[in-house]
Amino acid sequence: MLDIWSWICELPNLSQWTESDPSLVFELASSGPSQGDSATRSIQLRAERSSGSNIDTLVTFSVCLHGFQNLSKKTLWVSDTCSLSSEKPFLPLLLQLLQEIISRSPTAHDSTCPRSQLKALKPDPVSWVMDSHSPESFSTFLDLVFITRLFWLCACDAPSEVGSLYFKSLLAPNLEGLMSKHAPALRTFLITVGVDAELCFMRTLGYMLAKWCMLRQVGVGLQTLTALTAPPQQNLGFSYANEACGFWVLKGYSPVLGMRTTRSANVKTTQFPIMETAKDSVLKYALAHQQLEAVVQVEYSVGVYDGYIQVTARVDNLRFHVASLGFNKNDDVDYAEERYFPSRIRIWVGPEVGANYVHGLSLGRSTDNGEKEVKMQKIMKSSFGKSKNSRVKATMRMSTRTRKKNWRWDQDAEGNAAVFDAVLCDNVTGHEVATSNPSIGGRSENNNGLRRRYEGANRAFTKTGSLVLGGDEYGDGVGWRLSREMEGSVLKWRIGGKVWLSYWPNEVDTSYCETRCVEWCDEVDLPLILGKISI
């Protein structure tokens, strides 16, 4: 693991600095000599003393390349000056890195919050991240920020061999630790920086992870990347949860290529670059730049009664957006209307595992037993009398009325955890989308009920491909009864979610379809302190 923060804090006294001092150079990544070249290639972070007054001592940091062909020594990036006489000398460095990451974030198609409208980050939230975490926790956050900023420098603004070294020797070995859910400093930053800056930061991170997944799968002509073999069941992404203002909120981000594949129409076409046609290759390349952005918002309340405490929770809002990263809003992009869409959502909330203070869980929705309305009409006509041939004529008419809905909603329980389940169904065949494949062949609307799914009055998604589920879809809330002995405690409650994303053809003719899933789980606080509960 990197530890840039420890290196910065342990820099020697400035009066002792010399240009050849090895302690002023931090090696970010290195590799052996390339073919035909005996030099060792490396990406370095250097600290240099800048000219300043006798009172104020200034330092700058730079990212340099060494040993690459035709690049004996090249500087990729230089920081603003940091004053060592200030109270927080390296706060300007972190602010600059974060601001540059946010200002260069990929544009999401149909975004209403372009990065150009974001003002400069305020120093207070970033300063709070530095003050509220241990050096080990903050070091992990600073490493992630540095690696994310270096992505644009090494993978986009430098020769391909620099990008290969970046992905193989810098990103790959540190990725698991940086993206761990036990990264509290990143969680604090996302909560305090504001949702607009959060989206820009996480979209840059998602774009970087998407590119890494693509290169890991290609392998052809990129021998230096063959070592990038993450476990096939690994989910790449980040989530965090917090409690505020009577809400439990879980937020999750994951690039689609970082999600586990659960179903595919053709296993041979799940890897780059093997596809049936060139059109399918372009389609999959466009789909690879998409990221799931999820918000799970659960409202809770606490009431104290004679002999027990009642904790009630209800789904307030579930929002799932699949952002297409890297495309400008007004660009005429091929396959812009082709995207993954949520096909099943499973949310759970309840006490921590092993809790023995819950004495009952009550659900608020019965299992839906659909009804079918049948109308029958009988008409009988007859003729009697002097006619030679008697005539009897009978007519029967029958009509059936059914209601078709794309989504089925259920409540369930697993131990003391309440489970909210939403399953998308093809309203033509009735099959669950997450566990089935569409009918392929032709562009007829009768092939499946999800063709052109972002158009029409009865569409299952918004025009931008998002899905918003309100609390009214899930019926009444759920409730737990706790012993009065727990009054005055702050309990740990868990909230989690599992989301399935599917791709079915929308406007194009292709046999490619698949379903992927990602799972998140975190803890939130449940305060049972007098003054915060109703009596």
Residue 530 inside a domain? The answer is: yes
Q: Mark 482-505 as b/e (b = at least 16 C-beta within 10 Å).
A: beeebeeeebebbbbbebbbbbbb
Q: Where are the alpha helices (DSSP H) in 240-323?
A: 278-287
User: How far apart are alpha carbons 219 and 361 in whole angstroms?
Assistant: 51
Q: What span, in angstroms and rounded, lies between the C-alpha atoms of 350 and 146?
A: 37
Structure tokens at 186: 């990143």
Based on the structure, what is the number of domains in the chain?
A: 2
| Cα of 7 vs its chain's centroid, Å | 32
Q: How many helices (H) and strands (E) does the chain have?
A: 9, 20
Q: Containing H/E element for 203?
A: helix 195-218
Identify the domain boundary among 89, 107, 126.
89
Is it the case that residue 219 has pLDDT exceeding 80? no
Q: Note whether residue 213 is domain-resident.
A: no
For the beta carbon of residue 513, count every other beta carbon within 10 angstroms.
19
Contact 164, 172 (CB under 8 A): no
Longest dimension (CA), the chain: 130
Give residue 383's pLDDT: 60
Whole-angstrom Cα distance, residue 200 to residue 334? 24
Last residue of one domain, picked from the residues 89, 110, 128: 89
Residues 6+ apart with CB under 8 A from 472: none
User: What residues form DSSP beta bridges with 481?
Assistant: 310, 360
Query: Is there a domain that residue 377 lies in?
Result: no
393-424 pLDDT, tens per residue?
666 666 665 556 788 888 999 999 999 999 99
Highest mean pLDDT among 64-73, 279-288, 423-432, 479-488: 479-488
In a domain, 210, yes or no: no
93 membership: H or E segment, kind and range: helix 91-103
Burial environment of residue 128 by CB neighbours within 10 A (0 to 12, 13 to 18, 19 or more): middle
The values of phi and psi at residue 405, to 5°, are: -125, 140
Q: Name the residue with higher pLDDT: 93 or 281.
A: 93
> Any residues with CB less than 8 A from the CB of 57 and at least 6 apart, and which?
14, 49, 83, 84, 85
Cα Rg, the chain, nearest whole Å? 29
- In the predicted model, what is the mean pLDDT of residues 225-245? 67
How far is 72 from 506, CA to CA, in rounded Å? 50
Q: What is the pLDDT of residue 228?
A: 40
* Top-ranked range on mean pLDDT: pick from 101-115, 171-185, 333-347, 450-464: 333-347
Reference 347, options 252, 450, 246; nearest CA is 252
In terms of pLDDT, which residue wins out, 466 or 232?
Answer: 466
129 lies in some domain: no
pLDDT reading at 445 higher than 60:
no
Q: What is the pLDDT of residue 230?
A: 42
Residue 29 burial class via C-beta count within 10 angstroms: exposed 0-12, middle 13-18, buried 19 and up: buried
Confidence tier at 509 by pLDDT (50, 70, 90): confident
Q: Kindly state whether residue 153 falls inside one of the protein's structural domains.
A: no
pLDDT for 303 equals: 93
Considering 89, 121, 145, which residue would you say is the last residue of a domain? 89
> Residue holding tokens 């999600």?
259
User: CA 117, 121, 125, 126: dihedral to nearest 10 degrees?
Assistant: 140
What pTM was computed for the model?
Answer: 0.86
Residue 328 lies in a domain: yes
How high is the pLDDT of residue 391? 61
Q: How confident is the model at residue 361 (pLDDT cuts 50, 70, 90)?
A: very high
Decide if pLDDT at 15 tops 90: no
pLDDT tens-digit series, residues 18-35:
766 777 899 999 987 655
| 140-165 burial: b if 16+ Cβ within 10 Å, else e | bbbbbbbbbbbbbbbbeebeebbbbb
- Provide the domain limits for residue 54: 4-89
pLDDT in tens, 29-79: 998 765 555 568 899 999 988 766 556 678 999 999 988 877 767 899 999
pLDDT of residue 347: 96
In a domain, 99, yes or no: no
